[in-house]
Amino acid sequence: MDANGARFWMCSDVGDWVLGDGAAWDSKRRVLHLGSRRTVKMSGQDRASARMAADGVRGTVDAYGTWAVIASDGKAVTAAGAFPQPVVLYRVEETETVRDAAVGPEGILWLIVEAPGGGRHVVMTDVLERWQPVSLSRPDIQPDRILARPQGGAWALDRRDKIMARIDGVPFPEYLFRSFSPHIGRPCVENPDPPVMGRPIALPVPDTWELVAAAAASIGHMAFLFWTADGDARVVLWDETRFFPPDILSGLAAPFSIGWVGESRWAVVVEHAGHAPVFRLPTEIGAVVDPVGDYYPLPGWNGGPLCNTLHAPVHYVEKSADESRENPKPRPLHRLSQPGLVKKAAVHAARPFDSGSPKTVWHRLYLEGTFPPGTGVRLRLAVSDHPDPPPQDRFVPFHFATVPDLDLSPLSSSVPKGSWVPFPSEIPFHQGFLDCPRQRDRSGLFTVLVQRPGTRVRSLQGRFLWLVMDLFGTGQAGPEVAAVRVYAPRFSYRDRYLPDLYKETLSGSEADAAGPPSGPDFLERFLCLFEGCLTPMEDRVAAAHGLTDPDVAPFHALAWLSSWFGLTLEPALSEQARRRLIREAMTLFRSHGTLKGLRHALDIATDGGIAQGRIAVVEDFRLRRTFATILGADLPDEEDPLTAGMTASGNSILGRSLFLGAEEEREFLALFRPRIAEGAEQEAVVAALFDQFAHRVTVLVRRDTPEAVTALVRLVASRETPAHVETRVVAASENLVVGIASLVAVDTALEPRPPLRPVTENRSRLSRDATVLDTLSLDPRLG
């Protein structure tokens, strides 16, 4: 509500709009915009011939762009890319045939091999020749397609039965096998993770659907392309945790191959087409999807399936000059055109704005948006006294930026046009919903007075307000709308401050009659020019107390606000941390110089690092868990921040938890290096131990913490600890290591197996936090 008592209604979320054809909502940036679409007109899609094309063999491409293809007779797999002439990677028996191939990130070439009787099995071969090829099969699945997993392993897919089985594990390298003495204990099975094909799972689709093709992406998604008995093709995406609802590919009845182009874009190919339609998937709601407006040409395409690869963009096989398949060459599928957007789209508010009174005069409209050159928005408003939509001829237009001249009536020149406002929002101290810089007449806040052109009295009066919006673009650029707000009722300067002789005298049919505006109506709208400037000023004055509230004060005012408390805002602090520091300053002052205060300050500075377990503060004398047990000392742990009384102490008790003089190589022993004596010197050692670790605090941070955050932790810790306390910041381990680091969520964490990190010069430590990686190349001549 503003200073004049007017409230506003707003559309600023996807649920506030009903999107028409061609409109789209960006959930990350939270803006409404024109969709990217290209109409597909591909005639003569024959499923019989497309099915034969879908059954064709596929090549596979690695991260280097080298490739492996199946020979024309299906007896061998050859690789090329580093040099023109191919080399043989694998050859099957004379009675066998290779049907599909895929390469995984761990250096495994996966093959589907068909035996003479029609049975099919999976062959996993090591491109680096660390072990001999291994065959895997199950009687309940006959796979004809193989998809590598970005996490390692593969999925064997049976298109006929619409089932698939996961393959995990790798063989032991041959050089690890050696003979051991019979007196040395060895596991029953040397390889703890042997290759195994799991139980098949079924795709959750109707039995009448036909599975045509499938592809995988490095982001962890798998796409399955289906044909239905009637209608367009469907695509089902799966991220190994859930199946997304099927999306319908508009205008495509017989696409026969699919591949990942990048981000959320998937390409399909259709017979005899010169380009590949690309779709943005998944929609997560199961909708009819039009291709994006970008153009992906297929020059020289041989008409076969897209290559099997995890890396974007997907490749297609180029036709050889001699029309043979002995030395085909894959080419990446690249975009040729600039973004292709629809030129017009319409949306409307999901529900009318209800003022509750039929006497409401709707006052002013604000719009937050961005308008590149040649783009614009036309808003149309209508009022009614009942919840039924009014007829289209009752809607009055309002233009923002560049709108095509679609109306040839004489009133088209009098359509109200929005004006740019040099503030992020008319709401006091609000930063607006746009995520881009403001630019005059191009981006930011725009406003227009609600009125109806061409009538004697131009105010818009009624209980319900209906809103429709048309977006206009150039085909390569379009407007973006973040929010629309409408204020009501109108605070009339004319009726409030001028004598009655200036008030409107027309009403009913006379007010609605066409013609020039009446004198009082013109005066009313003229005074609204001043009201539109004065009301936001009054609102800011009335809301001036918000400048002292750290939660709503502008960012540039935080330094001034913190000076009231004598606080120093470090440049490394985030905006959220600055606001919280000011808000909790008094609580922080009361605990300054204590362990509680240090934890509180670090939690603020690191945006919840203490509460989330990313940082731990420990008094050094409590780190005794890494020492040998001290005989004669009772060290309870009920108040220990590390164990919190959860451990069964064996101090002074002979039992399973008592260790005399144990000096294992442990991480904290390396940090503190305590020397635990035995015998008669125990009491002196205990006293020296507490003298050594008294008045010392250790701040444990995760080893993967950014250096800037670690430096901020050191700075805050040095300021918040008293002079007689020594503080240090130590990087704790990332993973749970039995016998070395064992406090989960303090100096250790239970996590999925992290990916290998490449070595960084002057920063990494081999075998500790980095590994020398050798990215796989299918062509062995690349090295």
Domain ends where: 715, 732, 749? 732
3-class state of residue 521 by DSSP: helix
Answer whether residue 742 is part of any domain.
no
Question: So what's the pLDDT on residue 502?
Answer: 93
Residue 347 φ/ψ, nearest 5 degrees: -135, 165
* DSSP-derived secondary structure for 180-219: --TTS---SSS-SS--EE---EE-SS-TT-EEEEEEE-TT
The CATH number of whichever domain residue 254 belongs to comes to: 2.120.10.30
The residue with greater pLDDT, 329 or 56, is 56
Contacts of 555 (CB under 8 A, 6+ apart): 575
Residue numbers of the domain that contains 496: 7-35+341-541
The answer on 368 and 490 residing in a single domain is yes
Give 638's pLDDT tier (boundaries 50, 70, 90): low
The residue with greater pLDDT, 44 or 697, is 697
Encoded tokens for 546: 């918000």
Q: What is the mean pLDDT of residues 394-408?
A: 85
The residue with greater pLDDT, 451 or 743, is 451
Question: So what's the pLDDT on residue 628?
Answer: 39
Q: What is the mean pLDDT of residues 250-262?
A: 93
In this model, does residue 466 exceed pLDDT 60? yes
Angle of the 575-583 helix axis to the 595-605 helix axis, nearest 10: 140
* Distance from C-alpha of 276 to C-alpha of 298, rounded to nearest angstrom: 7
3-class state of residue 562 by DSSP: helix
The residue with greater pLDDT, 561 or 36, is 561
The mean-pLDDT minimum among 107-111, 305-309, 640-644, 682-686 falls in 640-644
What is the distance in angstroms between the CA of the first residue and the CA of the last residue of the chain?
Answer: 70
Question: So what's the pLDDT on residue 679?
Answer: 56
Looking at residue 546, what DSSP letter applies? G
Three-state DSSP string of 712-739: HHHHHHHHHCCCCCEEEEEEECCCCECC
Give 766's pLDDT tier (boundaries 50, 70, 90): low
Question: So what's the pLDDT on residue 483?
Answer: 97
Strands, sheet with 288-289, edge to edge from the N-terminal-most edge strand? 210-216, 222-227, 234-238, 247-249, 288-289
In this model, does residue 644 exceed pLDDT 70? no
Contacts of 123 (CB under 8 A, 6+ apart): 90, 92, 110, 111, 112, 113, 133, 134, 135, 136
Q: What is the mean pLDDT of residues 292-300?
A: 88
Three-state DSSP string of 210-222: EEEEEEECCCCCE
Give 147's pLDDT tier (boundaries 50, 70, 90): very high
Most confident of 37-46, 401-410, 501-510: 501-510
Please, what's the b/e burial string for 701-722 (b: 16 or more CB within 10 A of its CB; e: otherwise)?
Answer: bbeebeeebbebbeebbeebbe
Angle of the 595-605 helix axis to the 707-720 helix axis, nearest 10: 150
In this model, does residue 2 exceed pLDDT 50? yes
3-class state of residue 356 by DSSP: coil
Encoded tokens for 360: 């409401």
In this model, does residue 639 exceed pLDDT 60? no
The answer on 302 and 434 residing in a single domain is no
Answer whether residue 754 is part of any domain.
no
The mean-pLDDT minimum among 65-69, 99-103, 245-249, 613-617 falls in 613-617
* DSSP-derived secondary structure for 580-640: HHHHTHHHHHHTTTSHHHHHHHHHHHTTSTTTTTSEEEEEGGGGGGGSPPPTT-----TT-
Q: What is the mean pLDDT of residues 136-147?
A: 96
Encoded tokens for 490: 């109108």
The answer on 509 and 555 residing in a single domain is no
Number of H helices, E strands in the chain: 11, 41
The answer on 303 and 285 residing in a single domain is yes
Give 451's pLDDT tier (boundaries 50, 70, 90): very high
Give 757's pLDDT tier (boundaries 50, 70, 90): low
The answer on 437 and 412 residing in a single domain is yes
State the average pLDDT for the chain: 84
Residue with tokens 């079924």: 202
Question: So what's the pLDDT on residue 747?
Answer: 46
Question: So what's the pLDDT on residue 39?
Answer: 66
The residue with greater pLDDT, 641 or 489, is 489
The residue with greater pLDDT, 176 or 651, is 176
330, β-bridge pairs: 317
Q: What is the mean pLDDT of residues 31-41?
A: 80
Q: What is the mean pLDDT of residues 40-64?
A: 86
Answer whether residue 780 is part of any domain.
no
The answer on 226 and 118 residing in a single domain is yes
CA distances to 324, 348, 695 from 72, rounded to whole Å, are 8, 57, 77
Q: What is the CA radius of gyration of the chain?
A: 35
Give 577's pLDDT tier (boundaries 50, 70, 90): very high
Q: What is the mean pLDDT of residues 438-463?
A: 95
CA 366 to mean position of chain CA atoms: 30
The answer on 468 and 389 residing in a single domain is yes
Encoded tokens for 325: 């398949």
The answer on 170 and 294 residing in a single domain is yes
How many Cα neighbours within 13 Å face the side chain of 381?
Answer: 29
Report pLDDT digits (tens) over 177-234.
667 778 887 777 778 889 999 999 999 999 999 999 999 999 999 999 999 988 899 9
Answer whether residue 769 is part of any domain.
no
301, β-bridge pairs: 318
Three-state DSSP string of 233-283: CEEEEECCCCECCCEEECCCCCCCEEEEEECCEEEEECCCCCECCEEECCC
The answer on 196 and 60 residing in a single domain is yes
Most confident of 18-27, 244-253, 692-701: 244-253
Encoded tokens for 176: 């690890």
The CATH number of whichever domain residue 25 belongs to comes to: 2.60.120
Question: So what's the pLDDT on residue 651?
Answer: 45
CA distances to 129, 290, 721, 730 from 598, rounded to whole Å, are 55, 56, 7, 16
Report pLDDT digits (tens) over 470-527.
999 998 899 999 999 999 999 999 999 999 999 999 998 999 999 999 999 999 999 9
* Distance from C-alpha of 632 to C-alpha of 653, rounded to nearest angstrom: 9
CA 660 to mean position of chain CA atoms: 52
The residue with greater pLDDT, 412 or 461, is 461
Question: So what's the pLDDT on residue 231?
Answer: 85
214, β-bridge pairs: 224
Q: What is the mean pLDDT of residues 444-459?
A: 95
The mean-pLDDT minimum among 106-115, 450-459, 548-557 falls in 548-557
Answer whether residue 766 is part of any domain.
no
Encoded tokens for 526: 């003229």
Q: What is the pTM of this model?
A: 0.66
Q: What is the mean pLDDT of residues 389-414?
A: 82
Closest CA to 65 of 329, 267, 361: 329
Answer whether residue 775 is part of any domain.
no
* Distance from C-alpha of 211 to C-alpha of 227, rounded to nearest angstrom: 7
The dihedral sign for the CA sequence 623, 629, 632, 638: positive
The number of domains in the chain is: 4
The dihedral sign for the CA sequence 345, 351, 352, 353: negative
Encoded tokens for 9: 């209604």
8 Å CB contact between 566 and 481:
no
Question: So what's the pLDDT on residue 654?
Answer: 43
* Distance from C-alpha of 259 to C-alpha of 147, rounded to nearest angstrom: 12
The answer on 276 and 247 residing in a single domain is yes
Contacts of 21 (CB under 8 A, 6+ apart): 345, 346
Answer whether residue 748 is part of any domain.
no
Closest CA to 108 of 153, 146, 165, 138: 153
Question: So what's the pLDDT on residue 63?
Answer: 87
Question: So what's the pLDDT on residue 601?
Answer: 94
The answer on 612 and 515 residing in a single domain is no
The residue with greater pLDDT, 643 or 504, is 504
The mean-pLDDT minimum among 89-98, 124-133, 270-279, 751-760 falls in 751-760
Give 645's pLDDT tier (boundaries 50, 70, 90): very low
The answer on 429 and 394 residing in a single domain is yes
The mean-pLDDT minimum among 336-340, 641-645, 767-771 falls in 641-645
Answer whether residue 184 is part of any domain.
no
Question: So what's the pLDDT on residue 758?
Answer: 67
